[in-house]
Amino acid sequence: MYVAPRHLDQVLPEGDSWNGTGIIARIRSPQMEKQIRLTGLPFVASQIGESSPPKAGKRFGEIDTHSKAIAQIGAKHLLERGLRSFAFCGFMNCHWSSVREMEYVSLLREKSFPCVTRHIHMASWIQQPHWLDTWRHEQPGIVSWLRSLRKPVGLMACNDVCGRQVLQACVVAGLRVPDDVAVVGVDNDDLICELSDPPLSSVALDVERAGYESAQLLDGMMSGRIKEGYVVHVKPTHVVTRRSSDVIAQDDRLMVSALRFIRDHFAQGISVSDVAEEVGASRRTLERHFSMAIGRSILSEIARCRIERAKQLLLETDVSCYRVASGVGFNSLKTFNRTFHRREAVTPQGFRKMARSTSRSNDVSQALLGA
Does the domain formed by 253-355 have CATH 1.10.10.60? yes
The predicted pLDDT at position 371 comes to 36
Q: Which neighbouring-strand residues pair with 240?
A: 202
Residue 63, phi then psi, degrees to nearest 5: -105, 125
Q: pLDDT tens track of the chain, all 371 residues?
A: 666 666 655 666 666 667 788 988 887 777 788 888 888 889 998 865 454 555 555 568 888 889 999 999 999 999 988 888 999 999 988 888 999 999 999 999 999 998 999 998 764 444 455 555 666 788 899 999 999 999 999 999 999 999 999 999 999 999 999 989 999 999 999 999 999 999 999 999 998 888 999 999 999 999 988 887 788 889 998 999 998 998 876 778 888 889 889 988 999 989 999 999 999 999 999 999 988 888 889 999 999 999 989 998 998 888 999 999 999 999 999 999 999 999 888 999 998 887 766 444 444 444 433 43
Q: Which neighbouring-strand residues pair with 65?
A: 234
Q: CB of 319 within 8 A of CB of 307?
A: no
Q: Which neighbouring-strand residues pair with 25?
A: 45
What are the E-state strand segments in 122-180? 153-157
The predicted pLDDT at position 365 comes to 42
Q: CB of 103 within 8 A of CB of 136?
A: no
Residue 310, phi then psi, degrees to nearest 5: -60, -40
What are the E-state strand segments in the chain? 23-26, 43-46, 60-65, 86-91, 115-120, 153-157, 181-186, 201-205, 231-234, 236-240
Q: CB of 289 within 8 A of CB of 279?
A: no
- Residue extents of the structural domains in the chain: 67-206+238-245, 253-355
Contacts (Cβ under 8 Å, ≥6 apart) of 202: 160, 163, 184, 185, 186, 187, 188, 189, 193, 239, 240, 242
Does the domain formed by 67-206+238-245 have CATH 3.40.50.2300? yes
The predicted pLDDT at position 358 comes to 42
> Torsion angle, CA of 191/196/199/200, rounded to 10 degrees?
-80
Q: CB of 44 within 8 A of CB of 64?
A: no
Measure the CA angle with vertex 96, ends 69 and 307; round to 5°: 20
Please list, residue by residue across 2-35, b when 16 or more beta carbons sit within 10 angstroms of its beta carbon and e when fewer do.
eeeeeeeeebeeeeeeeeeebbebebbeeebbee
pTM of the predicted model as reported, rounded to 2 decimal places: 0.75
Q: Are strands 201-205 and 236-240 parallel, antiparallel or unpaired?
A: antiparallel
The rounded distance, in Å, linking the Cα atoms of 298 and 270 is 11
Q: Is the dihedral of CA 189, 194, 195, 199 positive or negative?
A: positive
Q: CB of 292 within 8 A of CB of 255?
A: no
